[in-house]
Structure 1
Amino acid sequence: MQVELYKRLLKDKKTAPSSAKVLGRAYVKQVDVVVAQWARGPEIMISTKTMGSSFGNNMANRFEESYGDAKNLRGRHPLAAIGFVFLLNSSIHSHESASYERAVDMMRKLKAEFDVYDATALIIADWTQGSAEGIKARPDLVPEDLSIDKFFEDIVSAVLSRTPIDMHVVVREKREAREIPVPEQDPAVDSSLSGLEGG
């Protein structure tokens, strides 16, 4: 019964949409990745931006947009883990080194305040404009504190620090490499399952 219901929900784009528009404090924001739970609401919201050229002309605009988006989402969802991933063409490093330094500085500043982003990541890759062929990530050009590994570590830490010990128990156990003698508490799932079993 539960599997059938799950399949039907995934087919219904009004119930389970593929795009995630989240109401913030001031406006609705299209978020690229959302993890939400019925009782807890949005737990993870990740926005992304890409820049392939004209770095010097557009970097300040990306900073303003990203900062404003974070404040908007944080204003309505203060306990959600909010992240920002910025994909840049590697030509920024070889041709516009000042813009590269600004991008690194910007990403660090976006997570420096408690009410902006919990995590930021910089992804730098080689690609030719207008082509999806031959894309190659360049982790060697990304500082460790802005790496994708650090990003996910910070996002998971934010979620776990803002939820009680009896939520996300399996994640906590894997992270701490120990068994936690606390049963998982998820009232929304428990009540929905009992309703299915009764029907």
Structure 2
Amino acid sequence: MAKKATKKSEAWVYFDHIVADAAPRGLHSNPWILNEKGQAVFSPDFDTLQRLLGVPLYLAAGTQSGVPALALDVWLSYEFRRAGFQTDQVWPRPSHPRILPAPVAALISNLNTPFRRELERVIADTASIKGVTSASSIILGKNYTKQVDVVISDWATGPELLVSTKRMDSSYGKNAANRVEESYGDAKNLRLRHPLASLGFVFGLRSDIFEKAPNKAPWLFDLLEKLGQEDDAYHATCLVLMEYDGTSYQVPEPDGDNSTAELPGTGSDDETAELPAELPENEIAKGLANLPKVSILHDKTPNELAPARFLATMVMRILSTTPVTMHAEARARMAAIKPSIKA
């Protein structure tokens, strides 16, 4: 009997289609543009973000499924690929397996055809291969391991980008402070072991906080800004303010704060890894055509927490802490939009 698909395994199917539509044949648009002052700025693809955010609403996937926050992870990894970082360097990848070290991918591509096809089949048909592929990134900090949501890493360099994401669609009064407090500890744990990595934090928040907890919103925004200003915390923080088109759409959440702390250990996710669901093409097309509309409220987002600023800061820090011979495509994409200087 076939195993019933989970919300997450179904969500991956829709996420992968949305990202593939945004980058046909794996070709990504250049996110860098010149503003009215002639300055290079990062221009995020918010249309793709809004489609991704509609998936958990369409599937009625609750917070504990991991799908609502995963929509942010998928978008961020897509944006870093737009910036010029390679597919196998940025995790989660846009296809299964989500974590595949670049040297392993290079090995596979250099194998003789029969061996390559067989290995590709094994990887594609296996949820995770211990020590090789994985569904999530487990990073060792100073004192304990931590699941990090969006990562750029390589065996030769170690982690170069570590971004954690949180999502909150309700229970603002109960859980908002807990989310920020957890992040302070996580940031210090990671930064002490990986001081050169670009460390970031992205918080997805539903816009009805302004109606349900109006006094909480400015307090939370202030905490998020300060989280990106501490010397031993994140290099930048980001707020994604989401407005649903219609009050009927809800991301189911448990009552109270049911988050659990994991004991430090190996951080293996072999037992929870799963393959993308097998859905009929007509069902996928129907879902993509009927995604609930989600809007991003830019005018209510503080400048210090703007997604464009966050992404630019992360990319610039990666490039500034590595030799110019590394990340050639990312550097070329930035250089491509700068006006030529005539002698």
Category of TM-score, reference length = shorter chain = 0.7 to 0.9
Corresponding residue number in structure 2 for 1:129: 250
1:58 matched to 2:175? The reply is yes
Kindly report the root-mean-square deviation, in angstroms, between the aligned alpha carbons of the 2 structures: 2.4
Tell me the amino acid that sits aligned with residue 2 of structure 1. S
Q: Which of 184, 188, 198 does residue 81 from structure 1 map onto? A: 198
SS at match of 1:141: coil
Answer with 2-11 or 65-74: which moved more: 2-11
Structure 1 runs, 4 residues or longer, greater than 6 Å off: none
**Cα offset, 1:63, TM superposition:** 1.5
1:16 matched to 2:133? The reply is yes
SS at match of 1:109: helix
- Between the aligned partners of 1:23 and 1:64, the Cα distance in structure 2 is 20
- Between the aligned partners of 1:176 and 1:133, the Cα distance in structure 2 is 37
Corresponding residue number in structure 2 for 1:165: 324
Contact 2:167 2:203 in 1 (8 A): yes
**Cα offset, 1:8, TM superposition:** 6.1
Answer with 35-44 or 125-134: which moved more: 125-134
Corresponding residue number in structure 2 for 1:109: 226
Structure with a larger share of its residues in strand: 1
Q: 1:139-164, CA deviations, whole angstroms, 9 ceiling, x for partnerless residues?
A: 22212221111111010011111112
Q: Which of 315, 327, 330 does residue 156 from structure 1 map onto? A: 315
- Between the aligned partners of 1:71 and 1:9, the Cα distance in structure 2 is 38
**Cα offset, 1:9, TM superposition:** 8.3
- Between the aligned partners of 1:151 and 1:10, the Cα distance in structure 2 is 34
Q: Which of 79, 89, 109 does residue 2 from structure 1 map onto? A: 109
Corresponding residue number in structure 2 for 1:197: none
**Cα offset, 1:26, TM superposition:** 1.3
**Cα offset, 1:90, TM superposition:** 0.5
CA gap 1:51/1:106 in 2 versus in 1, 3 angstroms: same
Contact 1:33 1:45 in 2 (8 A): yes
Contact 2:206 2:242 in 1 (8 A): yes
SS at match of 2:293: coil
Contact 2:229 2:236 in 1 (8 A): no
SS at match of 2:299: helix
CA gap 1:62/1:178 in 2 versus in 1, 3 angstroms: closer
| Greater relative contact order, per chain length (Cα 8 Å cut-off, separation 6+) | 2
Q: TM-score, normalised by structure 1?
A: 0.80
Structure 2 portions without partners, runs of 5+: 1-107, 111-115, 253-290, 339-343
Report the number of matched residues: 179
Contact 1:9 1:16 in 2 (8 A): no
CA gap 1:178/1:62 in 2 versus in 1, 3 angstroms: closer
Q: TM-score, normalised by structure 2?
A: 0.48
**Cα offset, 1:65, TM superposition:** 0.3
Q: Percent identity?
A: 41
Q: 1:98-121, CA deviations, whole angstroms, 9 ceiling, x for partnerless residues?
A: 211012111111110232111211
Corresponding residue number in structure 2 for 1:35: 152
**Cα offset, 1:173, TM superposition:** 2.8
Answer with 135-144 or 43-52: which moved more: 135-144
